[in-house]
């Protein structure tokens, strides 16, 4: 059913091929997928006879239509055959050319490191920043080696099952193993390097938290004695406030120490958010312990008022608390100013964005403590002047309200940080412009930059790469003369396929190197960016 277009004068006819005279005027070569060619002009000796037969038949038909015969001159037909490679069926699971690392080969195929020494080693571009290349193995070689070692797939499956059961048993006995390690703590302490966790509490947020723990602990002790001596509701609220601050700041110290843990397979991005979790729990604790008990004691004082004893000692303790809380507040303010200046933010922006949750908690708790001391002293003074205990109970309610406001703010800011909010639009614009100004990038889409907490940003974008620039980057590293000779030596389809596969794989590696370069540039020019995911469109 071929259709051939023939022109005569200004008319064009579309007629089926079996109704036209065929005259072979040139050789036609047909290429198969294996590169062989067939010369139909020389091999088909019956071609001319067949053409003459068709010519005779057509001539017989043209005797009845002489006018049409003269209007259709004989035209040679040239047939062009397109050489196409046979499509290769890879199947639903094709792993012949897949690479596998040595660790996976040992774990998944139950091999030893000595078994891998006999396999082909391939150097590939490393996905890690600290190394340029690393060694991988062909998955097909590893599978063949595992069958050689274990004898059959069934034996390999049994060994995998046995190791899985051993791993589950080890996890069940993990607590017992930890106890054994604890018994040898002194030995490991002498052989392992010193941990840097303790050093975190001598500078930065750790230092602020430790100072606050010491001061608030002393304040709680003295305020508790003053409440026992005077029975003042406001003094009781102050003692509960100092106790809540001490417990919450101890929780912050735990969060700081946990956030320094190194990432593991279960937590690949680390434990940085432990600071936000500790601050969130601290906010809830302030609301329950501080605000709740203060409100309760204030309401009880209003319902069942009782006279207040001498308030002289209470005033002295409040004055000392004001000085100590003010000192802690100044330490927190100076630390936040220093950190905000380093990030190029204002004091207010740094606090609202909860850049450093531990220092924020100390700042807000101490600010609330200073204000609550002022409220408690005012209400106690009114009570001592008027003799009316209701003022003291109102002071307790005021302290509780102040603590409830602080806790609500801490809960909100830390919840927003844990949800993963976007970075500032100006910072996102700088990252976008850096990518778009690179010659290898045509366009970027679906850009997302998430603040993971503690000034760590995760950046993700869909990138449309310019294939011409990538190919030129590859060609600039090649010997063009040698490449031209390789092209001139290509004669068959197999040679063409091998040439394209070789350089196609190298171009893909060049594209991967360009992706690594862009990720490295983003991290170097923006230190807050720790994780970059560039997806190729």
- Tell me the C-alpha distance between 65 and 513, whole Å: 72
Confidence category of residue 423, pLDDT binned at 50, 70, 90:
confident
Lowest mean pLDDT among 54-58, 243-247, 274-278: 54-58
Does 353 or 16 have the greater pLDDT score?
Answer: 353
Lowest mean pLDDT among 122-131, 271-280, 471-480: 122-131
Confidence category of residue 178, pLDDT binned at 50, 70, 90:
low
Q: Is the pLDDT of residue 290 over 50?
A: yes
Does 18 or 499 have the greater pLDDT score?
Answer: 499
């606090």: which residue's tokens? 351
3-state helix, strand, coil in the chain (%, to 5): 65, 10, 25
Lowest mean pLDDT among 164-178, 324-338, 444-458: 164-178
- Tell me the C-alpha distance between 231 and 349, whole Å: 42
Half-sphere exposure of 528 (CA within 13 A, CB side): 20
pLDDT tens digits for 185-240? 544 444 444 445 566 777 777 888 888 888 888 888 888 888 887 777 777 877 88
Select the highest-mean-pLDDT range: 14-28, 31-45, 374-388, 469-483: 469-483
pTM: 0.60
Residue 524 class from Cβ within 10 Å (0-12 exposed, 13-18 middle, 19+ buried)?
A: exposed
- pLDDT of res. 221: 87
172-199 b/e (C-beta count within 10 Å ≥ 16 → b): eeeeeeeeeeeeeeeeeeeeeeeeeeee
Q: Which residues pair with 445 in a beta bridge?
A: 462
- pLDDT of res. 183: 57
Confidence category of residue 438, pLDDT binned at 50, 70, 90:
very high
- pLDDT of res. 25: 41
For the residues 296-325, what does the mean pLDDT come to? 78
Confidence category of residue 182, pLDDT binned at 50, 70, 90:
low
- Structure token digits, residue 28: 């036609």
Write down the mean pLDDT value for the chain: 77
pLDDT tens digits for 321-373? 788 888 888 888 888 888 888 877 888 888 887 777 888 888 887 888 788 88
- Tell me the C-alpha distance between 469 and 442, whole Å: 10
Lowest mean pLDDT among 155-159, 230-234, 263-267: 230-234
């396929």: which residue's tokens? 497
The DSSP secondary-structure symbol of 307 reads -
For the residues 274-298, what does the mean pLDDT come to? 82
List CB contacts of 23: < 8 A, sequence separation 6 or more. 51, 55, 74, 76, 77
- Structure token digits, residue 166: 């051993």
Confidence category of residue 78, pLDDT binned at 50, 70, 90:
low
Contact 261, 388 (CB under 8 A): no
Beta-strand pair 457-465/529-536: parallel
- Tell me the C-alpha distance between 219 and 323, whole Å: 11
**Hey, what domains does the chain have and what are their CATH numbers?**
99-188 (3.90.530), 197-419 (1.20.1510.10), 425-536 (3.30.70.1350)
């490449």: which residue's tokens? 483
- pLDDT of res. 470: 93
Residue 432 class from Cβ within 10 Å (0-12 exposed, 13-18 middle, 19+ buried)?
A: middle
- pLDDT of res. 199: 66
Contact 447, 460 (CB under 8 A): yes
Q: Which helix (H) or strand (E) holds 463?
A: strand 457-465
From residue 492, how far is each of 86, 495, 501 by CA, in Å?
A: 14, 5, 14
% of the chain with per-residue pLDDT over 90: 11
- Tell me the C-alpha distance between 240 and 220, whole Å: 7
- pLDDT of res. 265: 76
- pLDDT of res. 98: 85
Q: Is the pLDDT of residue 250 over 90?
A: no
Confidence category of residue 20, pLDDT binned at 50, 70, 90:
very low
Confidence category of residue 534, pLDDT binned at 50, 70, 90:
very high
From residue 136, how far is each of 97, 118, 187, 243, 297 by CA, in Å?
A: 12, 13, 37, 58, 69
HEC profile of 132-192: CEEEEEEHHHHHHHHHHHHCCHHHHHHHHHHHHHHHHHHHHCHHHHHHHHHHCHHHHHHHC
List CB contacts of 1: < 8 A, sequence separation 6 or more. 16, 17
Does 33 or 129 have the greater pLDDT score?
Answer: 129
Residue 256 class from Cβ within 10 Å (0-12 exposed, 13-18 middle, 19+ buried)?
A: buried
The DSSP secondary-structure symbol of 8 reads E
- Tell me the C-alpha distance between 239 and 403, whole Å: 13
Dihedral sign of CA atoms 194, 198, 203, 205 in order: positive
Confidence category of residue 465, pLDDT binned at 50, 70, 90:
very high
């Amino acid at each position: 059913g071929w259709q051939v277009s023939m022109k005569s004068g200004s008319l064009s006819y579309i007629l089926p091929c079996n109704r036209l005279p065929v005259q072979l005027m040139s050789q036609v070569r047909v290429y198969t997928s294996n590169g062989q060619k067939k010369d139909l002009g020389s091999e088909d000796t019956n071609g001319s006879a067949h053409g003459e037969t068709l010519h005779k038949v057509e001539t017989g038909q043209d005797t009845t239509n002489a006018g049409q015969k003269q209007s259709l001159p004989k035209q040679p037909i040239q047939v062009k055959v397109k050489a196409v490679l046979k499509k290769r069926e890879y199947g639903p699971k094709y792993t012949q050319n897949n690479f596998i690392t040595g660790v996976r080969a040992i774990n998944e195929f139950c091999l030893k490191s000595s078994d891998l020494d006999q396999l082909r080693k391939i150097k590939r571009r490393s996905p890690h920043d600290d190394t340029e290349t690393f060694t991988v193995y062909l998955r097909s070689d590893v599978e063949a080696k595992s069958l050689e070692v274990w004898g059959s797939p069934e034996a390999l499956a049994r060994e995998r099952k046995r190791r899985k059961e051993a791993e589950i048993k080890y996890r069940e006995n993990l607590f017992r193993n930890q106890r054994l390690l604890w018994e040898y703590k002194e030995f490991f302490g002498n052989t392992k390097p010193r941990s840097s966790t303790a050093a975190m509490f001598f500078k930065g947020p750790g230092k602020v938290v430790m100072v606050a723990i010491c001061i608030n602990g002393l304040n709680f002790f003295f305020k508790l004695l003053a409440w026992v001596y005077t029975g003042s509701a406001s003094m009781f609220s102050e003692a509960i406030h100092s106790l809540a601050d001490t417990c919450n700041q101890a929780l912050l110290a735990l969060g700081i120490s946990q956030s320094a843990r190194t990432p593991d397979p279960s937590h690949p991005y680390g434990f940085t958010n432990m600071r936000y979790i500790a601050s969130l729990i601290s906010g809830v604790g302030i609301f329950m312990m501080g605000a709740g008990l203060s409100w309760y004691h204030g309401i009880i004082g209003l319902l069942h008022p009782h006279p207040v004893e001498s308030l002289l000692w209470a005033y002295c303790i409040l004055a000392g608390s004001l000085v100590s809380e003010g000192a802690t507040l100044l330490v927190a303010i100076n630390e936040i100013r220093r950190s905000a200046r380093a990030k190029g933010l204002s004091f207010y922006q740094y606090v609202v964005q909860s850049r450093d949750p531990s220092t924020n908690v100390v700042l807000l708790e101490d600010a609330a403590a200073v204000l609550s001391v002022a409220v408690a002293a005012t209400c106690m003074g009114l009570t001592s002047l008027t003799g009316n205990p209701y003022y003291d109970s109102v002071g307790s309610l005021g302290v509780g309200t102040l603590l409830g406001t602080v806790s609500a703010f801490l809960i909100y800011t830390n919840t927003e940080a844990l949800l993963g909010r976007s970075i500032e639009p100006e910072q996102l614009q700088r990252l976008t412009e850096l990518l778009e100004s690179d010659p290898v990038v045509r366009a970027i889409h679906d850009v997302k930059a998430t603040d993971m907490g503690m000034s760590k940003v995760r950046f993700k974008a869909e990138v449309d790469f310019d294939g011409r620039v990538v190919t030129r980057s590859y060609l600039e590293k090649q010997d063009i003369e040698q490449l031209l000779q390789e092209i001139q030596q290509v004669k068959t389809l197999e040679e063409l396929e091998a040439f394209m596969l070789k350089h196609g794989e190298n171009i893909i590696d060049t594209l991967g190197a360009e992706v690594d370069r862009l990720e490295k540039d983003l991290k170097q020019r923006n230190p807050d960016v720790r994780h970059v995911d560039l997806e190729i469109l």
